[in-house]
Copies of this chain bind each other. A is one copy, B any other.
């Protein structure tokens, strides 16, 4: 997908409209929203997108705006449709405030079913001291134009189900980690790419929560197919990202016991490590292979 001709802006974009939460009158801390089908991957709404929606509700309640450390435990798969988020302020601090939130949907009888429970510490990223002693280095990968558009995966590839999410992203994969799309995964367990939003909206600390979970799963690079459901995802942020696409580098080093971690580093166009995340996911158990008809 090419970049949109007219760039959307934070506050007026697909991402902002679809993560918008509406305070329920008379019920403090309660927010309604509608989960758009546009953020589905395989068979469920993307976990990073859900964390961003809950993150927006937490921002509305807490004394500070930025999720500095946020953890989500994913209980059941989220589907497009109505949802409600309930937020509790745990502790209000001068530099860090802690909140808890749950996202619920509804069963056939209208009963609430919890999808996701979140704990988070919010602060003001712009108020942090500017000391930096980072020995990590930006991911070695080609420039945006030399990377592979990741929005049109081939039929017969390892994505088994919906790819709606990909239409909302401006994703360019490092060719070294895109071999899975042509039946030739590297076997290393890496995934790297440039990540913008399709409508050109620049990133902010809420969309970074999406960014850490938006690349194809590293399982594809290990030669595995299918869904990699997130059990738990924690994101740490250190600064507001500069304008432009982010470089996201995800690695898996320990697939064991049917589980795998995905560690993501998020770098901005000023070569700053703006966020680190780790998730624990169920490893898919289906070896991928090129289909005869692919």
A residues contacting B by CB (< 8 A) are: 68-69, 71, 73, 75-76, 90-91, 96, 98, 100, 114, 117, 119-121, 125, 128-136, 188-189, 222, 231-232, 234, 236, 238-239, 253-259, 261, 272-273, 276, 278, 280, 283, 285
The distance from the CB of A249 to the nearest CB of chain B, in whole angstroms, is 13
Given contacts A71-B119, A75-B91, A117-B119, contact A276 B257 (CB under 8 A): no
Q: Tell which of B131, B188, B232, B259 touches A256, judged by Cβ atoms closer than 8 Å.
A: B131
A215 to B: closest C-beta gap in Å: 18
What residues on B are CB-neighbors of A134 within 8 Å?
A: 253-256
A238 near B256 (CB under 8 angstroms)? yes
Q: What is the minimal beta-carbon distance from A154 to any residue of chain B, in angstroms?
A: 24
Q: Chain B: which residue is nearest A257 at the CB level?
A: B128
Known: A136-B253, A234-B232, A254-B238. A68 touches B114 (CB 8 A): no
Name 11 interchain pairs, CB-CB below 8 A, sorted by A.
A68-B259, A69-B231, A69-B232, A71-B119, A71-B234, A75-B91, A128-B256, A131-B285, A136-B253, A136-B254, A232-B234
A136 contacts across to B, CB distance below 8 A: 253-254
Stoichiometry, as copies per complex, reads 2
Interchain residue pairs A-B with the least CB separation, the first 10: A128-B257, A136-B253, A133-B255, A69-B232, A129-B258, A71-B71, A132-B256, A238-B257, A238-B256, A134-B254
A89 to B165, CA, bound (A): 32
Residues of B within 8 A of A261 (CB): 236, 276
Of A98, A236, A276, chain B has the most CB atoms within 10 Å of the CB of A236
> Could you tell me the distance between the alpha carbons of A259 and B75 in the complex, rounded to whole angstroms?
30
Chain B residue at smallest Cβ distance from A222? B133
A62 CB to closest chain B CB (Å) equals 13
Docked-complex contact A73 and B121, CB < 8 angstroms: yes
Check if A130 sits within 8 Å of B253, measured CB to CB. Answer: no
- Known contacts A114-B90, A253-B135; is A259 also within 8 Å of B234 by CB? no
Bound form: Cα–Cα A134–B76 in Å: 28
Residues of B close to A114: CB separation below 8 A: 90-91
Is A188 in contact with B253, judged by CB distance below 8 angstroms? no
Q: Is the CB of B133 within 8 A of A117?
A: no
